[in-house]
């Protein structure tokens, strides 16, 4: 096997694909479009809300909420009493008020109506509801229970219960852990590695079919061996995938940095800010972290570096396993529609892995998670789902070793089939005939 031939094929596959318009669009424009779809609506809403001021006329039939609502930068309150119909007409006809908030005197409970004519600020209804709940609750504390709101807050602090989850590893080392975060990170890693594998492995299948149907492979086989062509195609497309992945990472980091500089308060709405402050007060170690990588290292059983290295390993090995099997499938058939019956047995483990992701993420160390993380056709996804929650080193190394051994088998298997099938045209090959190819020298 000549390494020069393989390098030429790799170079051809790589350069041909990165020059395609589809590669440029998918690699560069897609992350920008996704970021625009996510960020632009938020920016527009924030901008519109910052300029939208609501003057609210409060008509309180209960007299409980008179002069009690707190004004904000976007909301001001005025109070009046009288006939609600006349008050609404005066408010809207004179365009003095944007909304009329009528609190009904109802024995069945607090009921109210918020009248508006043109536009209703997005957070006005929730703001009114939260303030009414707080005011009414304070009124009950004082009138019925004779407890001041300040005293009640002190009692809440004294009776507040906080449960911190601490994971203990085999060596006895303790680490604070957030199970929900582990589930989310594991599911994201599993879904992402699934899509990456299926996209680039399918490119190998289409590439083999394209060369076979165009009879280009006959010219190539006259100069190189089938195994050299197979390896060159698989590695070339793998490098395209790695290039695309690295560009996505750089673009994502760049976009996040630009958005952070251009709109530092993008995620600092009142609710988000209050949540962040409360979490920071309850978790001083997390709040004092100087980088997100330190936070990951503090709250995950394995380091961020280990997650990245394992992700890269299972991405590469998972892609190579499925790419070799898809390449073998492409050499057997003459059209992509005919390939379904051959790719289905290979694709079923991938589909099964996706179905099992929610179950595995909630119980990452159960028997189902353990066995599926050892099966080579499911381990690239399932092991990444388990990893954020912590996996014993022997299980991780065993999974990697089994995956490498299975990859070597897949290369041998695909080379046998590819060598014969790539030059066969116009014939639907049965499984029995394919097994005969494996017996040939």
How far apart (Å, rounded) are the C-alpha atoms in residues 413 and 377? 15
Over its length of 441 residues, how does the chain's per-residue pLDDT go in tens digits?
566 777 888 888 788 888 887 777 777 776 677 666 666 666 665 555 555 678 888 998 888 888 888 888 778 899 998 888 888 888 888 778 888 899 888 766 678 888 888 777 767 888 888 888 888 888 887 777 777 777 877 777 777 776 666 666 666 666 555 566 667 777 887 888 888 888 888 888 887 777 777 777 666 776 777 777 888 888 888 888 788 778 877 776 776 677 666 655 554 444 433 444 444 344 444 344 444 445 445 545 556 677 778 888 898 899 889 988 888 887 777 666 667 777 788 888 888 988 988 888 888 888 998 999 999 999 999 998 888 777 888 899 999 999 999 999 988 888 888 777 776 666 666 666 666 766 664
What length is written for the chain? 441
In contact, 237 and 11? CB cutoff 8 Å: no
Residue 77's beta-bridge partner residues?
56
Three-state SS for 92?
A: helix
DSSP percent split of the chain into helix, strand, coil, nearest 5: 70, 5, 25
Task: Spell out the residues 6+ positions from residue 346 whose beta carbon is closer than 8 angstroms to its own.
Answer: 322, 325, 326, 329, 377
Q: Are strands 174-176 and 166-168 parallel, antiparallel or unpaired?
A: antiparallel
Strands (DSSP E) found in 2-157:
54-60, 75-80, 99-104, 111-116
Radius of gyration of the chain, Cα coordinates, nearest whole angstrom:
31
Cβ partners under 8 Å of residue 278, min gap 6: none
CA angle 175/176/179 to nearest 5° reads 115
Q: How many CB atoms lie within 10 A of CB 129?
A: 13
- 315, burial (CB in 10 Å: exposed 0-12, middle 13-18, buried 19+): buried
HEC readout, 340-380: HHHHHHHHHHHHHHHHHHHHHHHCCCCHHHHHHCCCCCCHH
Query: Hey, how many other C-beta atoms are within 10 angstroms of the C-beta on 355?
Result: 10
């Amino acid at each position: 096997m000549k390494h020069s031939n393989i390098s030429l094929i790799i170079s051809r596959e790589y350069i041909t694909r990165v020059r395609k318009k589809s590669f440029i669009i998918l690699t560069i424009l897609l992350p920008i479009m996704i970021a625009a779809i996510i960020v632009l609506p938020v920016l527009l809403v924030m901008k519109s809300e910052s300029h939208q001021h609501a003057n609210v006329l409060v008509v309180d039939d209960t007299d409980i909420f008179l002069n009690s609502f707190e004004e904000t930068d976007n909301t001001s309150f005025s109070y009046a009493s009288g006939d609600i119909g006349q008050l609404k007409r005066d408010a809207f006809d004179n365009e003095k008020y944007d909304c009329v908030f009528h609190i009904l005197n109802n024995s069945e409970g607090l009921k109210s109506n918020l009248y508006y004519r043109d536009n209703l600020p997005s957070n006005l209804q929730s703001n009114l509801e939260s303030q009414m709940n707080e005011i009414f609750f304070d009124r009950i504390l004082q009138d019925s229970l004779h407890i001041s709101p300040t005293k009640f807050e002190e009692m809440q602090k004294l009776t507040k219960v906080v449960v911190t989850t601490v994971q203990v590893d085999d060596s006895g080392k303790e680490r604070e852990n957030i199970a929900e975060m582990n589930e989310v990170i594991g599911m994201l890693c599993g879904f992402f590695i699934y899509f990456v594998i299926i996209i680039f492995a399918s490119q190998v299948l289409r590439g083999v079919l394209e060369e076979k149907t165009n009879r280009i492979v006959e010219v190539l086989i006259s100069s190189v061996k089938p195994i050299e062509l197979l390896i060159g195609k698989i590695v070339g497309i793998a490098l395209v995938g790695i290039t695309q992945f690295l560009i996505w990472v750089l673009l994502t980091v760049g976009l996040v940095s630009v958005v952070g500089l251009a709109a530092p308060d993008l995620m600092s709405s009142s609710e988000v800010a209050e949540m962040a402050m409360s979490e920071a007060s309850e978790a001083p170690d997390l709040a004092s972290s100087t980088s997100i990588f330190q936070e990951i290292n503090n709250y995950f059983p394995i380091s961020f570096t280990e997650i990245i290295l394992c992700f890269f390993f299972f991405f590469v090995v998972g892609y190579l396993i499925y790419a070799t099997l898809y390449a073998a499938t492409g050499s057997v058939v003459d059209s992509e529609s005919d390939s379904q019956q051959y790719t289905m047995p290979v694709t079923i483990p991938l589909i099964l892995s996706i179905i099992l992701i929610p179950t595995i993420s909630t119980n990452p160390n159960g028997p189902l998670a353990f066995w599926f993380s050892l099966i080579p056709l499911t381990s690239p996804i399932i092991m990444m789902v388990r990893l954020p929650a912590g996996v014993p080193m022997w299980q991780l190394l065993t999974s990697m070793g089994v995956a490498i051994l299975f990859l070597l088998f897949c290369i041998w298997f695909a080379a046998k089939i590819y060598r014969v099938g790539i030059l066969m045209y116009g014939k639907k090959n049965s499984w029995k005939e394919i097994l005969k190819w494996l017996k040939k020298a």
